[in-house]
Amino acid sequence: MNMALPFKVQITADEKLTLVLTNRRNGNTCAHSHLLEQDEAELFANTMESALASGAYSSLDHCPLCGELFTRQNRLCLLRDGQIIHKKCLRPAIKRGALSYDDCADYDYSCFPKDTPSIEFDNLREQIHGPEFRYAIQTVSKTVIHLYLTQRGKIPTRHYCLTYEECLGLVQEIRDKLVELYCAVTVVCAFCGSPIYLDQPRYEMSSGEVVHGICMERFIRSAKSANVTFPAKLIQMRDPFACRGGG
């Protein structure tokens, strides 16, 4: 069975993007949301794409002793059977009899060249007047890419881990939603007052009013429909990319 994607990008009523990421590190599942302005979302997608293209990749995934995902800051040991472990895990394993010092082939093993930077991108520690949405991106392997996201003075830094393919999917999803925003229908719902977008079914009244599909039943029962001329025409979702060709 396919696992659900660890991310979701939603358009808000005030034309921003909500980025929802699910943290699946170490067997824990916890979702957090981050509210982004359109320019922040575009810059984040571009930065992530650049970080993925210039990233340093190894075969590392998680430590077989403690189960934690590797980062580039970890000090490593290479065992004679080819396994790579955290150096901090070696002594406890020896104490409980799971390993011996003879099992270790390299006590100071590294998967990356010495001049490899510790992280691809990091603006988490910029000055207080820096960007509102801040993040750091670190590649370890095609299955372990660390994301650290926060918003200035609002939430703790959240740590997520995605695969290379999931990161590419996140970049594309952000760009898809931005296209939808750029191609948004320039009307608001006659019932709830929120913008109506191309990815939302809607009803168009004979008198010109437009209502979200999900609002239609309540609209008919409300006083707001008193001066509306029916019938209403259902307009299905459109492909938001269709408007790019004429731009």
Query: Mean pLDDT, 10 residues at a time, over the chain (247 residues)?
Result: 78 87 71 92 96 95 94 96 96 95 94 90 78 93 95 84 96 93 79 82 92 94 93 74 46
Q: How far apart are CA 49 and CA 45, in angstroms?
A: 6
**Selecting from 2.40.10, 2.30.230, 1.20.120, 3.30.2450, what CATH number does the domain 7-58+115-182 have?**
3.30.2450
Q: How far apart are CA 171 and CA 173, in angstroms?
A: 6
Residue of 197, 205, 206 whose CA lies nearest to 238: 197
SS3 of residue 121 by DSSP? strand
pLDDT at 78: 97
Place of tokens 């004679």: 80
> What backbone phi and psi angles, to 5 degrees, belong to 7?
-145, 155
CB-count exposure of residue 163 (10 Å: 0-12, 13-18, 19+): middle
- The confidence score (pLDDT) of residue 196 equals 82
Residues carrying CATH 3.30.2450, the chain = 7-58+115-182
What pLDDT is attached to residue 142? 96
Residues 6+ apart with CB under 8 A from 189: 195, 196, 202, 210, 211, 212, 215
Between CA 210 and CA 190 the distance in angstroms is: 6
Instruction: Give, to the nearest 10 degrees, the angle between helix 38-54 and helix 164-182.
Output: 150
According to the model, what pLDDT value does residue 246 have? 44
> For the chain, what is the radius of gyration of the CA atoms?
25
pLDDT score at 127? 65
Q: Is there a contact between 21 and 36 (Cβ–Cβ < 8 Å)?
A: no
Output the pTM of the full model: 0.74
H or E element in which residue 235 lies: strand 232-235
Q: Which of 108, 165, 154 is nearest to 131 (CA)?
A: 154
69 sits in which H/E element: none
Contact 106, 84 (CB under 8 A): no
What is residue 172's three-state secondary structure?
A: helix
